[in-house]
Chains A and B, each alone.
Chain A
Amino acid sequence: DVKVTQSSRYLVKRTGEKVFLECVQDMDHENMFWYRQDPGLGLRLIYFSYDVKMKEKGDIPEGYSVSREKKERFSLILESASTNQTSMYLCASSLFNTEAFFGQGTRLTVV
């Protein structure tokens, strides 16, 4: 059974803080993704990675960076959190052109 685990379910951070969201998968998937989900806007891709140390910008990368030092772990970093980054963040992983498995999501509130 594939498992994608995000480090926090709920997170409250202050404006300007550096925020780390962690995601771990246990199925040796090469692809890993970070999305944010906002009402009416669907799942918007922030960054993705297809191998260790490889990263590609998605559709909304501004204000975010990522790190993939090990195949099973993909981290999303908010360098200086702002209130407009309050959102639900979802991590996913997959093999090439196959089903993507999602984590449970992290509800981030920036105050």
Chain B
Amino acid sequence: GENVEQHPSTLSVQEGDSAVIKCTYSDSASNYFPWYKQELGKRPQLIIDIRSNVGEKKDQRIAVTLNKTAKHFSLHITETQPEDSAVYFCAAPEGLTGGGNKLTFGTGTQLKVEL
């Protein structure tokens, strides 16, 4: 089955700096890699995702890069702001031969943006 590892578990940056969170996965058949953000007391929500036919995807200040050979993908946040403070999760859905997805998450990264 899929094994997703996420680092670091906590990350503290100064406002305006960049933040990078990395995930590795084990199933070479995985082809969809989402990132979720969970603010305090709220449900996780998708912020960006990437499919295996591209190596990078950007959406304003956030970007995701994917290295299929090395089986890792990373979330990049530039010009961090206090509202970026949250827990970030990576995930790697595993397709089942019988149908459906097993959706496994990393253990999360607590990002704190300090003024």
| A interface, CB within 8 angstroms of B | 30-31, 33, 35, 40-43, 45, 48-51, 54, 56, 58-59, 90, 92, 94, 96-100, 102-105
Contact = CB atoms under 8 A, between A and B. Distances in A.
Q: Is the interface of B mostly helix, strand, loop or mixed?
A: strand
A51 B96 CA distance: 12
Q: How large is the interface on B (under 10, 10 to 19, 20 to 34, 35 or more residues)?
A: 20 to 34
Interface of B: 6, 9, 31-32, 34, 36, 43-46, 49, 89, 91, 93, 95-96, 98-108
B101 A96 contact: yes
B32 A45 contact: no
A105 B91 CA distance: 19
Contacts of A103: 43
A97 B32 contact: yes
A45 B101 contact: no
B5 to A, nearest CB: 11
A79 to B, nearest CB: 23
A105 B89 contact: no
Q: Is the interface of A mostly helix, strand, loop or mixed?
A: strand
A54 B100 contact: yes
A50 B96 contact: yes
Nearest to A91: B43
B105 A43 contact: yes
Given A50-B96, A97-B31, A100-B91, 17 more contacts: A31-B100, A31-B103, A42-B106, A43-B105, A45-B105, A49-B100, A50-B100, A59-B104, A94-B101, A96-B95, A96-B99, A97-B93, A99-B34, A99-B49, A100-B36, A100-B46, A104-B43
A30 B36 CA distance: 20
